[in-house]
Chains A and B, each alone.
Chain A
Amino acid sequence: MALLRLPERVPGLPVLALVLLLVPLFLGNEFHLDIATQIALIAATVVGLNLLVGYGGQVSLGHAAFFGMGAYASAILTGTYGWTSMPALLCGALLVAVLAWTLGRPILRLKGHYLSMATLGMGIIIAIVINNEGWLTGGPDGLAVEPLTVLGAELSIFDHYSVLGLDVSGALLWYGLAALLLLLAVWIARNLVDSPIGRALRAVHGSEVAARVVGVDTAHYKLLIFVISAVYASVMGSFYAHYTGFITPQVASFEHSIELITMVVLGGMASTYGVILGAVLLMLLPQLLTDFQDYEMMMFGLILMLTMIFMPKGLLPTLSEALKRLRSRPATAPAGQE
């Protein structure tokens, strides 16, 4: 039995770090590296969304709006007002936290799926504001974003940098930064889940009444996790804006919110590494289906439906359960002979 348990406890974070380290070696060109960087940033967003959806059992249909607010706050504050990147990012995150708190506080006192409705409405409103307030946001034409500044130095994908005497492209450095951000996002998410706060959240999902009778203020924790996941989205939105150098209202659209939710559902709710897999697959999908771009939303809808019907737990949890079953079968036979 002891031998059987060993492989079940894979140290997730080191494995993820190793994978992220090896990925650039297998990427053929700058275009692949660009996709990998975007995947890492979106995956980090989804890790935050999973805290709310997977662990807290609350669905946000407007998470792209938080992502978009972070992106536009960074773009506008650095571009129009000449701020440096980090204060702009923090200001965006603070703005999003206040909005999420204001919206979530009255709604999360209620049981049921009211948060989905409220975030749906909020997402649509924010998308409309970004589209219409062209003087500030550039409207449907989008907005160019200044390169990221870290400690006074610009990090642009078009430049080359000397790191420890080596000549490194800005694109590769950006990939490294995105990978670090993803690792940080996972580390914080795992810390949260495996803590009194995480147990309280999962209990809200498992049995809210049980959580309450042992003293968990469920409304408080639902609100806390909603704000945290919104801040995750905002911060990643800021980095995404600096990375791509150009943003359009699409980043804050309802379609983008659905994409994020689909990544969580496909990868596996309440599975931090599963949702990263979900993000990887669904970010690669449009690259594979470039000829069928018009059908992209349809594909997302179809994937969402099929996942719900055939593996409601999501990809990674379903796979790991199947693996466990496979493993226990041959192993139990000799154990019986002893």
Chain B
Amino acid sequence: MTVAIEALISFFLVVAGLFGLVGSFGLIKLENTIQRLHAPTKATTVGVGGVLIASMLYFLLVKGSVSFHELLITLFLFLTAPISANFIAKTYIQGNIRAHELPGTECDYGWSVYDDPPKRIEDEE
């Protein structure tokens, strides 16, 4: 029985390690900043998630205590990863890409990096 438990935990750890490795490899391999953004935001969510599942299983099955710290790490990761990716993308666009290189917005105003937002009614009063 213990062998099965250990195998299960090891499986999650190995999968997590593999995805972490692929994420880091993507950082080196891909060509420009925007493409590189894809590697860490995705490959590492399963990377970190796998370690956390392994940790929860370890405490539950081996130590016999319930641990739900790990859910919080997932929650914080899901909150912060898209925001930091968005910051990096915006900074990159601001410095390296001109408005005409991007597709149009299909609405009345341009992209927020290049165009001012519409005036709000409260601002004018």
The answer to whether A binds B is no
Using a CB–CB cutoff of 8 Å, the interface residues on chain A facing chain B are none
